Amino acid sequence: MARLLEIELVVPPLMLPQRMRDLLDDADDRIERFHHRRRDNPAPAFVPSDFVESYRALSQVTALSLAPGSRFVEWGSGVGVVTCQASLLGFDAIGIEIESELVDEARALAEDHNIETEFIHGSFVPDGGDEVLEANAYNLARTVTWLSNDAPSAYDELGLDPDDFDLVFAYPWPGEEETVFELFAEFAAVGALLLTHHGEEGMRLQRKRR
């Protein structure tokens, strides 16, 4: 059975390049405007990650050549910042997001900053992921969840499978972590990396092994 191996990731302080600072400043403005527009109908579970820490973590993964290849996917990409960061660091970066308005925001952000990415509207839960969701239904029922298999699978539109990616990023809500870990363990390729953000606990990096 596949298991996840914890990788210690020491993320040193790193000054952000000007292009990255410009991206984050613009993203902050867009997020604020998005929340204002949707104040009466908030997007479920949309809470931005720590984009400074995600950039530093991705930079370290890149510097240490930890990923087995260059294909990156963000599960629940929001306004697309982490996917854009991965692209700027040399990954072939794709974001999957179930909220269509956020997909539009992400595409606009990438286009305005001349960043080559792809954002897909759909579910990152692959076909066959129902059993994992059902096994964790009790925990998921207690929290707002962005985990869903109700929307069309994004992988069908991409023409790719979850095991085609070398690095996956996700920001699970409390109570959803194990579900994300199990989805990755079940469907990712052996050797692939999972980078997750856990609020004040910071970033966590795991590798799938046999």
Q: Is 98 part of any domain? A: yes
Q: How many CB atoms lie within 10 A of CB 159?
A: 7
Q: Is 79 part of any domain? A: yes
Q: pTM of the prediction?
A: 0.90
> What pLDDT score does 93 carry?
98
* Whole-number Å distance between alpha carbons of 78 and 30: 11
Q: What CATH number should be reported for the domain holding residue 55?
A: 3.40.50.150
> What pLDDT score does 142 carry?
46
Q: Is 42 part of any domain? A: no
* Domain extent at residue 61: 3-7+50-209
Q: Is 96 part of any domain? A: yes
> What pLDDT score does 135 carry?
66
> What pLDDT score does 1 carry?
47
* Both tokens assigned to 35: 């929340």
**Residue type at 26?**
D
Q: Is 95 part of any domain? A: yes
Q: Is 39 part of any domain? A: no
Placement of tokens 């046999």 in the chain = 210
> What pLDDT score does 138 carry?
46
Kind plus residue range of the DSSP H or E element containing 203: strand 203-209
> What pLDDT score does 54 carry?
96
> What pLDDT score does 21 carry?
97
* Whole-number Å distance between alpha carbons of 136 and 131: 9
Residue (of 181, 180, 171, 179) closest to 202 by Cα position: 171
Look at the alpha carbons of 194, 198, 199, 203 in this order and tell me if their dihedral is positive or negative.
negative
Kind plus residue range of the DSSP H or E element containing 1: none
For the chain, the C-alpha Rg in angstroms (whole number) is 16
Phi/psi at 130 (nearest 5 deg)?
A: -55, -40
Helix (H, G, I), strand (E, B) or coil at 167: strand
Domain count across the chain:
1
pLDDT per position in the chain (210 positions), as tens? 468 999 999 888 889 999 999 999 999 999 999 888 877 776 666 677 899 999 999 999 999 999 999 999 999 999 999 999 999 999 999 999 999 999 999 999 999 999 999 999 999 988 877 767 766 654 554 454 556 556 788 999 999 999 999 999 999 987 788 989 999 999 999 999 999 999 888 999 999 998
